[in-house]
Amino acid sequence: MLKQFAKKIEDIMRLIGETQSASFCHAEHSERSSVRFLLAVSGGMDSMCLLDLFSQVVPNSDFAVAHCNFSLRGQESDGDQALVESRAQELGVKIFVKRFDTAACARERGISIEMAARDLRYEWFGHLCQEHGFDALVVAHNANDNAETLVLNMLRGTGLNGLHGILAVQERTDCIVVRPMLEMTRKQIEGYVMSRRVPYRNDSSNFESDYKRNRIRNEVFPIFEKINPSFVKTLNREIGYFAEAGSIVDSWCQAQLPNVICHPERSEGSVIISLPSLLATEHWRYLLYYILEPYGFNSATLESLEGLLESDRTVSGKRFESATHLLYTERDTLVVKPVLNEEISDRYIMVPEEGIYELNGVRWQVEVLERTPDFNLKQPVGTLVMDADKMAFPFVCRAWKQGDWLVPFGLKGRKKVSDLFADLKFTQIEKARALMMVRYDEDLAENQHIAGVLGYRIDDRYKVDSKTRNIVLITILNNTDTI
């Protein structure tokens, strides 16, 4: 198991090294020779196993521990914190600890305790990664967790994408999340912990079936194990097949899109689907799902729409809505129109100084820092790093417009932002939310040579160089990705 884990960490370090080489670093900045990790350690068996494995294959100076106390189980939560702190001290590893009022957060945000705890920990982990320069957040998800996620997604109805399971490497706006134990079963972890006498604590709430995941773990999986003692490995193998099948299906759907999407040059952010072409396509139902799913239309809407298209009823004039998009039917077409585009296409806001701003449901922070010799110029995920004199206050933030372009960092030729969206595989929702940073000049927000795409790329004009005195950081604060 240790050898398997060491190989996985080598692969992760190589992947991160390649990402760093391709990142937006100034030529003067020498890349670190090592990769730094932040380990999320709760005190349970899985995360304490992760900590022990790391201590054997990675130098202590190259990783640290982060522990969340969610204040949900009284003395039990405090005992978890005490164990993680003492173990980190024994191993000589730096530790970060934060206590949350999770119940209050859940009330304020109007979400479940489980979701509040998840949001709080990942927000804090991302902040630590950016503040202290960690290259990746490491979590202890294992093969059993992956199998549980598969079953949950099947019950929710997530299509092929949900059958891929948990990603081994996942890029968020504020950090990269890696899961080196994803191929290890809980039985393997238990055997390792017993043989190494690794201390850990049981979370009593894991034995209760109040949450869906716990119910699957405590009530459903024991039945699966009676049918197939190796069901966890079997499901994880199937997840790999589902991922490959999903890739094949995605390729097929992408090949069909030019045949069914009409008038892209006149769509202005909308998607126009030719009904005759769609209905003439084999497997048109799945193709319709593939096109509409990214825009938030649920299974009930898709079922109603399929029934309408299969019936003899009049198709034209029907209307369906999702949280972000409007779908309406015409005689020979379906039109999907982003509501957000209708609301903000002509809006922009001025950014006169440092602070926190919001537009189109996206919140970001603007900071100006003095450039010091040891300042890390690597552009973190979700952050733009610019020369503060070149990107002087006030500047403008606005929605994307057709024709926007920039000169990518380190290159000479211009690139359309629409082509950048294609490279990043943006959905229509992501395009609708995308925000452009532009200089304040005589034509205000109409300037189409932009300074940067918030959270992704800067124009070469604004890069930090040897003459830079101050640096402006523009960082996305909110994040709707799920893990």
Domains assigned to the chain: 2-237 (3.40.50.620), 261-341 (3.30.465), 347-476 (no CATH)
In the numeric block, the tokens 């101050």 are attached to 470
The helix/strand/coil state of 118 is: helix
Handedness of CA 178, 181, 182, 183 (dihedral sign): positive
Handedness of CA 205, 209, 215, 217 (dihedral sign): positive
As a whole number of angstroms, the longest Cα–Cα distance in the chain is 73
User: How many other CB atoms are there within 10 angstroms of residue 237's CB atom?
Assistant: 12
**For the chain, what is the radius of gyration of the CA atoms?**
25
Q: What pLDDT shows up at residue 214?
A: 85
Series of mean pLDDT values for 10-residue runs along the chain (483 residues): 86 76 42 79 95 93 94 89 95 95 81 83 92 93 93 80 83 86 94 94 73 86 95 93 89 93 66 92 92 80 85 75 78 80 55 82 86 74 89 87 84 85 78 84 62 92 89 78 33
273, 333 Cβ separation under 8 angstroms: yes
Residues in the chain: 483
Q: What pLDDT shows up at residue 359?
A: 79
Q: What pLDDT shows up at residue 429?
A: 67
Please give the Cα distance from 417 to 431 (Å, whole number).
10
Please give the Cα distance from 362 to 111 (Å, whole number).
19
Q: What pLDDT shows up at residue 106?
A: 79
238, 224 Cβ separation under 8 angstroms: no
User: How many other CB atoms are there within 10 angstroms of residue 430's CB atom?
Assistant: 12
Beta bridge partners of 61: none
Backbone phi, psi, residue 331, to 5°: -60, -45
Q: What pLDDT shows up at residue 132?
A: 92
The secondary structure of 336-395, three-state, reads EEEHHHHHHCCCEEEECCCEEEEECCEEEEEEEEECCCCCCCCCCCCEEEEECCCCCCCE
209, 415 Cβ separation under 8 angstroms: no
Q: Sort 219 into a burial class: Cβ within 10 Å, 0-12 / 13-18 / 19+.
A: exposed
Please give the Cα distance from 409 to 22 (Å, whole number).
11
428, 295 Cβ separation under 8 angstroms: yes
Q: How are beta strands 435-439 and 395-399 bridged, if at all?
A: antiparallel
The helix/strand/coil state of 226 is: helix
The encoded tokens of residue 109 equal: 């945000």
Q: Sort 379 into a burial class: Cβ within 10 Å, 0-12 / 13-18 / 19+.
A: buried
**pTM across the whole model:** 0.62
Closest Cα to residue 305, out of 273, 282, 281, 280? Answer: 273
Q: What pLDDT shows up at residue 363?
A: 82
Separation of CA 140 from chain center = 17
